Structure 1
Amino acid sequence: MTKVQLPLSKKESRLYMAFMWVTYISLFVGGLMGLLQTFVRSGKFKLPFNIDYYTILTVHGVILGLVLTTFFIIGFQFSLMGKTVGISDKQLKVAWLSFWVMLIGTIMAAITILVGEASVLYTFYAPLRAHPAFYFGLALVIIGSWIAAFVNFRQLYVWKKAHKGEKSPLPAFMVIINMLMWFIATIGVATSVLVLFIPWSLGYAETINVLLSRTLFWYFGHPLVYFWLLPAYMAWYVVIPKIIGGKLFSDALARMAFILLLMFSIPVGFHHQLTEPGIDPTWKFIQVVLTFMVVIPSLMTAFSIFASFETTGRRKGYKSLFGWFKKLPWKDVRFLAPFIGMAAFIPGGVGGIVNASHQMNALVHNTIWITGHFHLTAATTVVLTFFGITYWLVPHLTGRRLTPRLNRLGIIQTFIWTIGMTIMSGAMHIQGLLGGPRRSSFSEYAGGEQVATWINYQIAQAVGGTILFIGILLMVYIFIQLTFFAPRGVQEYPIAVEEDDAEPTPKILENWYLWVGITIALILFAYTIPVIDILKHSPPGSPPFDWLIGR
């Protein structure tokens, strides 16, 4: 890994901060919608002004699940690329284009949701139909993200030309893996939106192929989870070791883990469709097997991170079995928030095994267990790591410092978030095991003893949601402080270097043709025959694919 960090210009910092601003506005709006949801589900509150429950549910999912994550990730990754391989003025202009295209798309989709024309949830399953502007907005967000991806690809290409024979900086390598995965995966949802949903919503097609649309969504939907997770992994691998005063355990191990995540994150979407008819069970089983393959890079990541923890502690002289663990910088929020995110990933991973397993999935599939799992992984593991990044990235970009006072507030915010999410997610998991449905408001439940039991857990969710919203308000306050009011100074951009005695990184790990080729081969293997079967057995009049099967 290169030991040279490039300075970020003011022009660059303005771009990266633009992404952060959209992120934290989204956090506030989406968090408020989530709070209202928990109140409604508790049965103690009704929405004013005839606001539809599914409107706020859709805003919550789209704004937090798609907008917040995508803007934060692309902004953070641009900063990593700028620090390690640089960005030219021309590339910077194209990067701004990606921001504005994404923002316009976000505004289009948000307006249609808020006026009640797109209450279709963030999965926008057919036959639910939204206003065409919603789908056009989603298409623009995807196109904008593609522009950002190709800026990243170009950045590394230019760097490699200027540094022939050198291995690329690890953060840049990781960004390229994530954006390759994103680009390949979003081809599925883009096809679904452009070819199926938009003609149907405009009235050019009378019907829509529901199973095909859901299959294309989940071709994208599962790697979306890894698109969120990989930037957290980037921070765990290359930022956290620097913060604790250590070094990266193994550059080669980190690259191999990311390559495996690229290969095994996409051809696995059927494990979200285990309860759906129309897909051969054999192909469902094959994709479940491929799903479990991601356990390997996850364990590699856990091993590498804790190896960095232990070697750093040993180097500082802590010789007892767990002395190094006790001496980690627990009072530094830059470490504490991501570490709690790491810890949450353990039960989150266990829940993922349940969700991806045939028989156990049948028990929890349409219950609020899935929502609890989602909040444990994305909203705890990923979001807490993003908060941890914010504490040093924002002041670095704004020329300010993370003061002891703001650090203490960050620690308080981290514990508030952890407590709130534990209560809310735990109640969701338990209610799900008791059969409580997801995607439903309290007003839709029938009476009976079982519903009375559910209500207790829904009240607990409202309590947890209230605590979480307090955490959101505090995080937004900290963000504003770090942007405008913290003292001027220099905040480190922490990127760790590799251990001096680490094994050399094999050149084959940067053979993009090989790894992308294997990824595409796995996708073709997992999806070609099932998709042909879906088209072949689609009901008559399922446009626009009739010509493919000779109708």
Structure 2
Amino acid sequence: MMNHSTASKPADQGLLARKAGLPAKDAKLSMAHMYVAFISLLIGGLMGLLQVLVRTGKMTLPFGIDYYQVLTVHGVILALVLTTFFIIGFQYALMSKTVGMSDGERKWAWISFYVMLIGTVVTAVMILLGKANVLYTFYAPLQAHPLFYIGLALVVVGSWIAVFVNLHQFFKWKKQHRGEVSPLLAFMVAINMIIWFISTLGVAATVVIQLIPWSLGLVDEINVLVSRTLFWYFGHPLVYFWLLPAYMAWYAIIPKIIGGKIFSDSLARLAFIMFLLFSIPVGFHHQLLEPGIDPFWKYIQVVLTFAVAIPSLLTAFSMFATFESAGRAKGYTGLFGFMRGLPWKDVRFFAPFVGMLAFVPAGAGGLINASHQLNQVVHNTIWVTGHFHLTLATTVILTFFGISYWLIPVLTGRKLNAHINRLGIIQTIVWSIGMFIMSGAMHIAGLLGAPRRSSYSEYGGSEQAMEWIGYQYAQAIGGSILFIGILLMVYIFVYMTFFAPKGQEEFPMAETAEDALPTPMVFENWKLWIGLAVALILFAYTIPFIDIIQNSPPGSPPFKWPIGYN
């Protein structure tokens, strides 16, 4: 018998998977998060449509609405609210399925939900009242109403409660199953929540220590470079907080849907551990053109940024190995014959697969953004916005849609019928066409110098603006098609929630292939991996952060607490 101190097979998720559905109380909890997510999709999508129409120069917003007010709503509602609520709701479902949820944990999960919801409402009201036109990044010296920052702080605090709920579930299971490898999906949720908690310490610090006192008038000025550095300490791992739930579905759910098995449990865990190590100490690659940061430390963080590509390449290898194994098992031969064995007419597979394909150009664009030389070509142009829409709005969101086609029926006790499956495939195609046109136009216009975060109307009839006009119209066309895709998805969500035939839908959780090597127990050494992650963060940030504070603008003391200066 194999020694469990060195290696072990993962917990029997297959047994859990055969228990259809979730406990009613847990399903209600996850579903509450889904309601907020899809309402956010509709509101944020409408704001995005208005943006691309305004940028054509042919539309003026009514009722005195400011363009940057619309831009802020679009960014905050979609990039922060939709994603956070969907991810936490999805992860509650995964944890309930794999390790269970106690009444106490469920109570705290509801507290988390309401704290985040209150924070979201407060923040949204301030934006809608025109008192927080500070964009998604809320950079100083742009200043919002104090309630905007307080609302953001509540969202973060609420999410921290969810972090501790998930980690309590996970480590309680481990205590009860000593010497066993944890369920893969629960392991992945724990990694993602640790990344989220560590990274949000940065944005919480700048909001609570700097921006709230500044907006209340308690200090006259703040150190802008400190605030931007703290934001991007959070801002880039935020991308992986979005991406890793998609990876959870790719690694552990898609294999079940295609009739296959997980290619390698060990490889999946290794990829997630690498994200834990390399996703946080990389924020400087968003600040490559900012003065005040030593070039050496920028270089160090660029190297670490490129290291993050490795787990993505591991994931690509693992997924196509899974596809090939499933196809070969069905008898398909030839070099790419296994592709014929994939369920192309099943939207639960088709939507995430299109998201996977979009990640190829999205990843290439990310390498360009992270490269010191190439970044200078695209920095602060709408190329970056196009990249953002390939990663989050295509790879991640299409995978989230793919998850919804089975998760919503599981949560509501209904079935995914042929009508919605067919409409979902149409929705995926519509979304892909719209995004190809809009994001493609953004990339090209960015190479021509078109700025991001701008309505373009400021440039009047200049010769340079005339070069961009065709791409502005293309963005409007693509954005309009995308909004049709949003309306379709909202209809699908409402139908699956209230009108689909009642029944029992499978919660698809794959088992590991029989011939896969046992999972080494070193992957369960949490002190080691969290310790390494903290060490890398301290290495990448401590010296440059002290340097930023000591070399503050003229007139400020040589060293000060980063709350502000007079």
Q: Same fold (TM over 0.5)?
A: yes
Q: Which amino acid aligns with 2:495?
A: Q
Query: Larger relative CO (CA 8 A, sep 6+): 1 or 2?
Result: 2
Q: Paired residue for 2:238?
A: 224
Q: Paired residue for 1:447?
A: 461
Alpha-carbon distance in structure 2 between the residues aligned to 1:542 and 1:414 = 54
Deviations 1:87-124 (A, max 9, x none): 00110010000000000000000000000000000100
Instruction: Please give the residue correspondences for 1:104-119 in structure 2 after superposition, counting only pairs within 5 Å.
Output: 104-119=118-133
Alpha-carbon distance in structure 2 between the residues aligned to 1:123 and 1:413 = 30
Alpha-carbon distance in structure 2 between the residues aligned to 1:352 and 1:360 = 11
Contact preservation (8 Å) 1:205, 1:543? no
Q: Shift of residue 445 of structure 1? A: 1.3
Q: Choose from 467, 475, 479 the match for 1:465.
A: 479
Alpha-carbon distance in structure 2 between the residues aligned to 1:547 and 1:49 = 43
Q: Paired residue for 2:517?
A: 503
Q: Shift of residue 327 of structure 1? A: 2.2
Q: Shift of residue 462 of structure 1? A: 0.5
Q: Paired residue for 2:15?
A: 4
The SS at the match of 2:49 is helix
Q: Shift of residue 162 of structure 1? A: 1.7
Check 1:432–1:507 CA distance in 2 against 1; reply closer, same or farther (3 A cut). Answer: same
Matched, 1:205 2:216: no
Contact preservation (8 Å) 2:330, 2:341? no
Alpha-carbon distance in structure 1 between the residues aligned to 2:411 and 2:122 = 29
Deviations 1:407-453 (A, max 9, x none): 00000000000000000000000000000011011321142222112
Structure 1 vs Structure 2 CA RMSD? 1.5
Contact preservation (8 Å) 1:101, 1:141? yes
Q: Paired residue for 1:329?
A: 343
Q: Shift of residue 545 of structure 1? A: 6.6
Q: Shift of residue 542 of structure 1? A: 6.1
Matched, 1:149 2:163: yes
Alpha-carbon distance in structure 2 between the residues aligned to 1:512 and 1:494 = 27
Alpha-carbon distance in structure 1 between the residues aligned to 2:38 and 2:424 = 15
Q: Choose from 84, 87, 104 the match for 1:70.
A: 84
Contact preservation (8 Å) 1:219, 1:269? yes
Q: Shift of residue 326 of structure 1? A: 2.1
TM-score when scaled to structure 2? 0.96
Q: Paired residue for 2:50?
A: 36
Alpha-carbon distance in structure 2 between the residues aligned to 1:449 and 1:90 = 64
Q: Paired residue for 2:191?
A: 177
Q: Paired residue for 1:432?
A: 446
Instruction: Please give the residue correspondences for 1:374-453 in structure 2 after superposition, counting only pairs within 5 Å.
Output: 374-453=388-467
Q: Which amino acid aligns with 2:452?
A: R
Contact preservation (8 Å) 2:326, 2:341? no
Deviations 1:502-534 (A, max 9, x none): 101000001000000000000000000000000
Instruction: Please give the residue correspondences for 1:227-376 in structure 2 after superposition, counting only pairs within 5 Å.
Output: 227-376=241-390
Contact preservation (8 Å) 2:550, 2:558? no
Alpha-carbon distance in structure 2 between the residues aligned to 1:455 and 1:379 = 23
Instruction: Please give the residue correspondences for 1:184-203 in structure 2 after superposition, counting only pairs within 5 Å.
Output: 184-203=198-217
Q: Paired residue for 1:102?
A: 116
Q: Paired residue for 2:546?
A: 532
Alpha-carbon distance in structure 2 between the residues aligned to 1:15 and 1:547 = 41
Alpha-carbon distance in structure 2 between the residues aligned to 1:544 and 1:475 = 55
Alpha-carbon distance in structure 2 between the residues aligned to 1:542 and 1:85 = 53
Check 1:73–1:547 CA distance in 2 against 1; reply closer, same or farther (3 A cut). Answer: closer
Q: Shift of residue 157 of structure 1? A: 1.5
TM-score when scaled to structure 1? 0.98
Q: Choose from 114, 124, 145 the match for 1:131.
A: 145
Deviations 1:452-483 (A, max 9, x none): 12011001000001000000000000000000
Q: Shift of residue 547 of structure 1? A: 5.3
The SS at the match of 2:160 is helix
Give identity over the alignment, percent: 69
Q: Shift of residue 358 of structure 1? A: 0.7
Q: Shift of residue 548 of structure 1? A: 8.2
Contact preservation (8 Å) 1:4, 1:84? no
Contact preservation (8 Å) 1:196, 1:544? no
The SS at the match of 1:438 is coil
The SS at the match of 2:221 is coil
Q: Which amino acid aligns with 1:122?
A: Y
User: How many residues were matched structurally?
Assistant: 551
Contact preservation (8 Å) 1:330, 1:336? yes
Alpha-carbon distance in structure 1 between the residues aligned to 2:26 and 2:560 = 49
Moved more, 320-329 or 228-237: 320-329
Alpha-carbon distance in structure 1 between the residues aligned to 2:434 and 2:486 = 11
The SS at the match of 1:49 is coil
Check 1:545–1:385 CA distance in 2 against 1; reply closer, same or farther (3 A cut). Answer: farther
Alpha-carbon distance in structure 1 between the residues aligned to 2:177 and 2:129 = 52
Q: Choose from 76, 79, 82 the match for 2:93.
A: 79
Alpha-carbon distance in structure 1 between the residues aligned to 2:167 and 2:35 = 25
Deviations 1:219-267 (A, max 9, x none): 0000000000000000000010000000000001000000001100000
Alpha-carbon distance in structure 2 between the residues aligned to 1:174 and 1:498 = 15
Q: Paired residue for 2:529?
A: 515
Q: Which amino acid aligns with 2:167?
A: F
Q: Which amino acid aligns with 1:377?
A: T
Q: Which amino acid aligns with 2:356?
A: M
Alpha-carbon distance in structure 1 between the residues aligned to 2:316 and 2:280 = 22
Contact preservation (8 Å) 2:195, 2:241? yes
Alpha-carbon distance in structure 2 between the residues aligned to 1:308 and 1:376 = 24
Q: Paired residue for 2:3?
A: none
The SS at the match of 1:246 is coil
The SS at the match of 1:48 is coil
Q: Which amino acid aligns with 1:175?
A: V
Contact preservation (8 Å) 2:22, 2:410? no
- Gaps of at least 5 residues in structure 2 are 1-9
Contact preservation (8 Å) 1:209, 1:542? no
Q: Shift of residue 359 of structure 1? A: 1.1
Q: Which amino acid aligns with 1:284?
A: K
Alpha-carbon distance in structure 1 between the residues aligned to 2:515 and 2:340 = 26
Deviations 1:43-63 (A, max 9, x none): 111101111000000000000
Q: Choose from 61, 71, 75 the match for 1:57.
A: 71
Check 1:417–1:544 CA distance in 2 against 1; reply closer, same or farther (3 A cut). Answer: farther
Moved more, 538-547 or 108-117: 538-547
Contact preservation (8 Å) 1:207, 1:542? no
Deviations 1:45-86 (A, max 9, x none): 110111100000000000000000000000000100000000
Alpha-carbon distance in structure 1 between the residues aligned to 2:95 and 2:459 = 50
Q: Shift of residue 319 of structure 1? A: 1.6
Q: Paired residue for 1:493?
A: 507
